[in-house]
Structure 1
Amino acid sequence: MTMNSKFIRTLALAGGTLAVAGCATGSGEDFMADTTWGEANRRTMAAQVIDPNPVYEDPIPPTSADNAVDAIDRLRNDQVKQPERVSTTEEPD
């Protein structure tokens, strides 16, 4: 092993040690006493959980199985009701 490669290895080890030490916000018990540790992960998981008992401002409109059957029959017989054309921009005068 040459002198140059020993120096490079020592320099890399020292740099790595400093980089890892820079990640710590405290030491010992103080480090784990941080109450915000892992907060981003907890918030991400909470955003993915569905409320099992949601409350809506507007009530859910009533549905009818007869309407669904009629719609399927129209689809199968190629008699689908064409929707009203809606434009997102105004036509110039």
Structure 2
Amino acid sequence: MNIDRRIFAAVTAVILLSACSTDGQKSIASASFGEANRQTMMAQVIDPDPQYAEAAPKGSGEQAAAAVERYRKGAVKKPDRIRTSNVGAGGSSSGSN
């Protein structure tokens, strides 16, 4: 009985391990698997060696100091409202000709 279990375990292990073997070539379906994820990751990578025309961006210390002072006093300038869509503004078609 003990030998039968060992044979069964050995045969099962061989079958399971044979499923792991590959011929070293990717199939067409798996060649591009994960490509969208890799492209999204690469789009988020910052250029490690950026090249700028100027040494440093221009800034104004006076404007920055005034902005900090307005923030401390609670008198921050509100940005202009910009609409990004025209929902319900018309221009849609009914889909029929």
| TM-score between the two structures when normalised by the length of structure 1 | 0.47
| TM-score between the two structures when normalised by the length of structure 2 | 0.45
